[in-house]
Structure formats: structure tokens, C-alpha cells
């Protein structure tokens, strides 16, 4: 076995486009967000800290900071049985969070490039009031 191979049980990684498709954020222009959200099979779990979340996050994402997750916080009941697509700012913390969640039995993958790549791909980012957000 190569020392460069990841553990076969380790969570996978997805691109922002794959993440958007799995979470229902890849709807075409003119479609209401609620219409394509229903088709999503996974939940986008944003593990950034509260100040980062308030500045900008994907619509309908669920927020659970990594600091809370590592301290033992559980997932909200509404997302426990669903696949998780974990995102942070750049992809480093989400990788760690996805590994932690997978060790707890969750079906989790992390997003390569995080919210930086999400925003750069033109995917939606909203602030805490629902206006145009930024990636902090």
C-alpha cells in the first residue's frame, strides 16, 4: 500500500459543482430555489465559525461550527439521517470535519476549495439577512 493513499474508509472529496448538484444548489436560472432544493439528496453542512457564517454562506446550508463539532456537539435532528456535504472556507477544516463525522457513522464528504471556490464558481452566497454575502 502506498504511503500516499488515503485510507479507503476515509470520506471522499467533491468539487463545488458536485456539491451544488448533491445539495440542490445547481438549479437553472428562473427556477425558484425551493423547487430544486426538494431534489437534493444531501445537506450542505457549513462548519465555519459564526462570524464567517454571518458574512456569507450558501442558502439552506446548515451551520455547525467545527469548534462545536470537535467539542462533541451533535448534528441537528433534521439532518442526522441524510448524506452530508461538509464545507468551510478553503477545504482544510471541512476535510477534518468530514473525517470526524464519518468516524461517528455519518455519510460525509468534504468540498475541495470550500466557500472560496463556491463563490468563484458563481454559486449563491447570502449573508445572515439573506442579502448578498461574502466569503470571510
Q: Which are the catalytic amino acids?
A: 88
Number of other CB atoms surrounding residue 51 within 10 Å: 8
User: How far, CA to CA in Å, does 5 sit from each of 14, 19, 25, 39, 80?
Assistant: 17, 23, 31, 34, 29
User: 30 with 16: CB under 8 angstroms?
Assistant: no
Amino acid at each position: 500500500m502506498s504511503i500516499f493513499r488515503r485510507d479507503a474508509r476515509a470520506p471522499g472529496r467533491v468539487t463545488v459543482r458536485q456539491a451544488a448538484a448533491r445539495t440542490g444548489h445547481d438549479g437553472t436560472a428562473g427556477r425558484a430555489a425551493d423547487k430544486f432544493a426538494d431534489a437534493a439528496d444531501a445537506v450542505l453542512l457549513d462548519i465555519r465559525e459564526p462570524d464567517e457564517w454571518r458574512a456569507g454562506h450558501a442558502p439552506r446550508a446548515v451551520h455547525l461550527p467545527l469548534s462545536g463539532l470537535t467539542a462533541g456537539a451533535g448534528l441537528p435532528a433534521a439532518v442526522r439521517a441524510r448524506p452530508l456535504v461538509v464545507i468551510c472556507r478553503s477545504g482544510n477544516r471541512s476535510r477534518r470535519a468530514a473525517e470526524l463525522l464519518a468516524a461517528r457513522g455519518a455519510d460525509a464528504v468534504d468540498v475541495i476549495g470550500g466557500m472560496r471556490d463556491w463563490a468563484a464558481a458563481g454559486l449563491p452566497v447570502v449573508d445572515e439577512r439573506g442579502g448578498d454575502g461574502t466569503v470571510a
